Chain A
Amino acid sequence: MSDWMQEIWTFIHHPLMFPMVVTALAGLIAYMTARRAADISRFVSLIACVVVLVLTYRLFAGDFVELDVTWLALNDLNLSIAMSNGKFGSLIAMGAAFFGLLIAISAIVAEKGEAEEGRFYAFLCWTLTGAIGAALADDLIWLLICWELVTLCLYMLLNLGKGDSPTSAAKTFGMIGFGDAAMLLAMVLIGATEGTFRINELSIEVDSPLTYICFILFMIAALAKAGAVPMHTWIPTAATDASAHVMALLPASLDKLLGIYLLATFSLRVFTLDTAMRAVLMIIGAVTILAAVMMAMNQHHLKKLLSFHAVSQVGYMVLGIGTGVPIGIAGGIFHMINHSIYKSCLFLTAGAVERQTGTSEMNRLGGLARVLPVTFMCCTIAALAISGIPPLNGFVSKWLVYQGCLSAGSPLAILCLVAAVFGSALTLASFVKVLATVFWGPATTDVAPSGGVEGNGKFALALPMVVLAVLCLGFGIFAQWPLNNLVIPALVDVGVPQTPLIIGNEAIEVSGLSLWGPVPATMLILLGVLGGIGLYLVGKVAHVRVANSFVGGEVLDDESVLKFPATSFYRTVEDMPGLGQALSDGGQGVYDVYRLGGRYGGSLVEVLRNLHSGVLSLYVSWCLVGVVIIALYLMAVL
């Protein structure tokens, strides 16, 4: 083997590079076999996901390694592929591989026979390539390249959807692309002022206008990816047409992991924020929580409702990081992990519902708990988790965020705390609506069941949901484990000044003992339920008489009047003075920055277009004006 071959082999075989190479190759094979042999693409991508999960786990658990290969050196400009397995980055990479694997398993059944099945797997693999690369990157330009790959794959995946998906994919690409452009600008600014693109070497105090601009640009990129207000509108638009699997993979989990990773890394490690910037983050968090969850309450399209929650929950993460208090930051990062778990689960259950009935319109759904018991159980657990009901995982992370707000102590933090607690109640409200109208109540008649999802050995569809639901329970009841093994290493990695482990009394409580004790609390609740069952047994609960619904003696010709439509569940809120108008405006996209940008950007383009009159003399005079300005400038300088 010649030298350069040896070099390339060392490069691709490097533990940091290898996961990317595996997924990239698997994606290539899947893409090439997509049309002819979808079985091969399915098999290859599944294997790749498993391999990558193992590899990224070894990166997370293993010793620190670095990779640094310069691929372009021009005088001062030194571009390199630099990667390292910091705990936070490798946690994100591992999470990406984990969710990729679950979605791939679920897609075996769900996407089978779809025209674009093979390409779905190819893009799934390439998404993982990008996500792992971005999470492990140590060089800004390399980060941007991988980051952009994820954006591109999201665009392609959304494009595979039905209906009006090209439009929503374009909107997504436009909005995230804007964020990416902001990031590129920030990188160039940092490169010019700091003289390095290495993330580990950067440490910038936010105090001058330039540093403010840099940080805000990075914040825009992170928030557009994660989907916080006001850069969130691509998620609900994409949700209607995209398949539930794509939603479960990207907006629900990977985009959150990456966006919050970027936000946390840059706001805690790279930049040192002042109180003003922290306040901005907290306000964005609180507004995101409330605005998005209010919108979610009034949705009656299941996936769209979930997508608004995917926005709302970002608020907790941003708020937690914005508090700047270790407990709050721990809460924000833990919430990121938890959100990925339960939101993926919810989107997968929505996919199962859609597959069963052919619709996501909640007004046409009902009584599915009997048809889809496993889906129903998983959906209930995930819904209670996202609403922050103890003892599930969502409760623990929200609780940490609340505690962070209270520790921050400023009046603004207290107001944000109110928003966060209230947002949690609103989340619960909209999931009660989901459970009540989709799974309970009278079964709908106009939707024909299209083959049992859970019967017929459709194990692959149920498995990812069950795994995620079990994780919701496990991370809630045994919260100390993920906190100690996943969150705190990540915190140490981003350089939180004092880790919760060593702050003192209160903090020791955070890492274990007399914190909210999930295990005893769960035990007590179970004990209470057992006591209740005992009461039932003492009473004559076994004497069940089945009767028709009691409607005051009315004789019903049509059972369908028993159905309580989803649209009227929260109509009262929609009719509230002031609030109702704001919600209806929101529904029509009045606050959608993409739409506004389109409208005002369009006017600007129109002005420029009008300058092109086709009259040669006019063009020549414009050129002359330009020459004069340049000449004047040169004269002034020289």
Chain B
Amino acid sequence: MAVGKMVFALILGSIGTLVLGFLAKWVDRKVTARVQWRVGPPWYQPAVDCIKLMGKETVMPAVAQGTGFLITPLVGMAGACVAVTMLWVMNLELGVGFVGDAIVVMYMFAIPALTTILGAAASGNPHASLGASREMKLLLSYELPLTIALLVAIIHTGGSFRIGQIVGAQQEGSMVFMSISGVLAFLVALLCVQAKLGLIPFDMAEAECEIMAGVYTEYSGPPLAVIFMTRFMLLAALPIFLITIFLGGVQLTGWPVLASLIKFVIILVLITLIRNTNPRLRIDQSLRFFWYMLTPVALLALGLALIGRQYGVGWL
């Protein structure tokens, strides 16, 4: 792709995802409010929150490493922007991607978590350090089953790391979800996404009532606004990622728009419901959950997918 087009895609993709993220956050808050028998905020509330934070002063702890503390949220947002741009472009123009772009997207989605950890460490706050340690362990715990789940989809769609091919194969044939291993892998990936978003039951890195805001304790003003925006973008992008890998991709033309939108909202509401109906796990519990429970499930799915490929049984 030409450079100009790429920059254009980045700007459009990021802003589009951000807007979608504001709306997704609103859906999340609205559903949460309904679950808790409240009315909930108006649709523009998440955006207004961010704008307000932009005008506030920045409080910096005396022991913090200033540059690292302030720059990490920006790098995290940049990582998220590149990830969502790639996701959009590869969904909408199936031929554009390159070999292994799925791995790049996975890595890019890990960058916000990484910068959160580094920023927390730079803030020098003990609660933040505790949160950073938990966030890192959480990243470790879900990365393993998520990788395996992704591989299941790759095996179903012809064994390529290229998102364009993963989506294309699903649109020509059937969705990855339409098989036993696909369902298992999707469920595993859904829980991993829950953890990636840092939502209950996997919010131990911020755990407000326990370690204040954990990794975000010392953040305020514009840096906090940037962190919020990054998280909103992820809230929109990760369900899209799931749709891309397991549910046949996102399409923005004709009737499939509606199908894509319905899938998106269903995943979003599922995530919100999980977060509203579960208590928080401890970090050791979630490590055990992901490594000792979900990983075997994911491996089972991988085995089924490999057997299915070997003997040409599509529904496995």
Contact = CB atoms under 8 A, between A and B. Distances in A.
A626 B272 CA distance: 83
B296 interface: no
Interface stretch (A31-39, A413-421, A444-452): A413-421
A562 B126 contact: yes
A520 B143 CA distance: 26
A549 B61 contact: yes
A538 interface: yes
A568 B63 contact: no
Interface string A418-447: 100110011011001101100111100000
Contacts of A418: 144, 147-148, 151
B170 to A, nearest CB: 18
A544 B57 contact: yes
B143 A515 contact: no
Contacts of A570: 133, 137
A436 B126 CA distance: 12
A536 B222 contact: yes
A564 interface: yes
Nearest to B55: A540
B242 interface: no
> For A440, A531, A545, which residue has the most chain B Cβ atoms within 10 angstroms?
A440
A422 B103 CA distance: 12
Nearest to B222: A539
B94 to A, nearest CB: 14
B99 A532 contact: no
A461 B251 CA distance: 55
A473 to B, nearest CB: 15
A544 B222 CA distance: 11
Contacts of A573: 137, 140, 287
Mostly, the A contact residues are: helix
B179 to A, nearest CB: 17
A539 B103 contact: no
B54 interface: yes
Contacts of B225: 535, 539
Interface string A619-634: 0000000000000000
Nearest to B307: A411
Contacts of A509: 98-99
Nearest to B133: A569
Given A422-B147, A429-B139, A528-B10, A515 B126 contact: no
A184 interface: no
A516 interface: yes
A370 interface: yes
Interface stretch (A132-140, A395-403, A601-609): A395-403
Contact of A532 (B74, B129, B292): B74
Contacts of A547: 59-62
Interface residues of A, number: 79
B137 A572 contact: yes
B159 interface: yes
B267 interface: no
B16 to A, nearest CB: 14
B52 to A, nearest CB: 10
B212 A572 contact: no
A564 B140 CA distance: 20
A370 B69 CA distance: 13
Contacts of A561: 126
Nearest to A536: B222
B130 interface: yes
Interface stretch (B28-36, B110-118, B193-201, B253-261): B110-118
A470 interface: no
A572 B141 CA distance: 11
A388 B107 contact: yes
A442 B125 CA distance: 9
Interface string B285-308: 001100110000000001000100
B74 A533 contact: yes
Nearest to B81: A528
A550 B125 contact: yes
Contact of B136 (A395, A429, A441, A544): A429
A568 B133 contact: yes
B104 interface: yes
Interface string B21-58: 00000000000000000000000000000000111111
B182 interface: no
A436 B118 contact: yes
Given A422-B147, A576-B291, A369 B79 contact: no
Nearest to A297: B140
A422 B143 contact: yes
B181 interface: no
Contacts of B151: 414, 417-418
A12 B133 CA distance: 58
A575 interface: yes
Contacts of B54: 535, 538-540
Contact of B104 (A409, A521, A533): A521
Contacts, number: 243
Contacts of A435: 118, 121
B226 A532 contact: yes
Interface in B112-165: 114, 117-118, 121-127, 129-130, 132-133, 136-137, 139-140, 143-144, 147-148, 151, 154-155, 159-161
B125 A551 contact: yes
Contacts of A503: none
A287 to B, nearest CB: 16
B118 A551 contact: no
Contacts of A548: 61-62
Given A409-B159, A418-B144, A535-B222, A436 B103 contact: no
Given A402-B103, A414-B302, A527-B7, A421 B124 contact: no
B162 to A, nearest CB: 10
A466 to B, nearest CB: 18
A425 B143 contact: yes
> For A432, A509, A516, which residue has the most chain B Cβ atoms within 10 angstroms?
A432
A523 interface: yes
Contacts of B98: 509, 514-517
A140 B117 CA distance: 51
Contacts of A568: 133
B185 to A, nearest CB: 13
B59 A545 contact: yes
B99 A572 contact: no
Contacts of B122: 440
Contacts of A514: 98-99
B118 A540 contact: no
B118 A532 contact: no
A562 B79 CA distance: 30
Contacts of A549: 61-63, 123-126, 218
Instruction: Report the 8 A-B pairs with minimum CB-CB distance, sorted nearest first.
Output: A528-B78, A539-B222, A532-B74, A564-B129, A436-B121, A539-B54, A543-B57, A528-B81
Interface of A: 367, 369-370, 388-390, 395, 399, 402-403, 406, 409, 411, 414, 417-418, 421-422, 425-426, 428-429, 432-433, 435-436, 439-442, 506, 509-510, 514-517, 520-521, 523-529, 531-533, 535-536, 538-541, 543-552, 559, 561-564, 568-570, 572-573, 575-577, 579
Given A523-B3, A550-B212, 16 more contacts: A406-B159, A414-B155, A428-B114, A429-B139, A441-B124, A524-B85, A529-B71, A532-B74, A536-B70, A536-B222, A541-B221, A544-B58, A546-B59, A550-B125, A564-B129, A579-B291
26 contacts: A388-B107, A389-B111, A414-B302, A418-B144, A432-B117, A436-B117, A436-B129, A440-B65, A440-B68, A440-B121, A521-B104, A524-B78, A525-B78, A527-B10, A528-B10, A528-B82, A533-B74, A539-B221, A540-B56, A541-B70, A543-B221, A544-B58, A545-B57, A549-B218, A561-B126, A579-B291
